[in-house]
Amino acid sequence: MEQFFDIIACSRPILRFCERFDDQSPLWNYTRHSHPYIELLFFLDGKSELEVSGMQLSVSLFDAVAYPAGWKHQEEITPERRREVICLWIDLPELRLPSPIHLHDRDEAIGRLFQMIYGEAKRKRPEPLLLEHPQPAKRLFAQPGHRHDAAQPERGKSYTSERTDPETI
């Protein structure tokens, strides 16, 4: 993971999408699809089965998942399971993830970072210095300062290391 941090430290990631939504939202895309950006999802509530380019992944409350840019993925539709996520898309072409990343948020560090980025990105006038701080950038691949265009019907996602147990799929 150190090589990821080196790439992040030498680049300018851009937050392209930042939304919080549940499984009833029209933003949730249940079809098989991909994005030109790294997608980060943090599960605030519920469970889900994910398929990422032929790999299966089970996620639940307080898990974070990072989909590599361009990788096809699909979330399972399960009406008996409520889900709520914060979704980020990070434009960072220098970073080529070799596979999806699944993290368990043992001490709420990832969740706090997602909440901070979401809260700041949704302010009328986001504070670029807060969003560009090196630690959140290292942990979430994001140095936002750009706001998402509401016309884009898609989402974004997350990644971290120090206080979590990474599971590379």
Extract the runs of DSSP E, i.e. beta strands, from 25-124. Answer: 38-45, 48-52, 55-59, 63-67, 73-75, 84-91, 101-104
Q: Which pLDDT belongs to residue 152?
A: 31
Please check whether residue 13 is in contact with residue 37, taking contact to mean a CB–CB distance below 8 angstroms.
Answer: no
Whether residue 8 is predicted with pLDDT greater than 90 in this model: the reply is no
Whether residue 38 is predicted with pLDDT greater than 90 in this model: the reply is yes
Residue 152 to residue 17: CA distance in whole angstroms: 8
Residue 131 to residue 116: CA distance in whole angstroms: 9
Please check whether residue 136 is in contact with residue 162, taking contact to mean a CB–CB distance below 8 angstroms.
Answer: no
Q: Which pLDDT belongs to residue 140?
A: 53
Residue 38 to residue 98: CA distance in whole angstroms: 12
**pLDDT top residue among 134 and 136:** 136
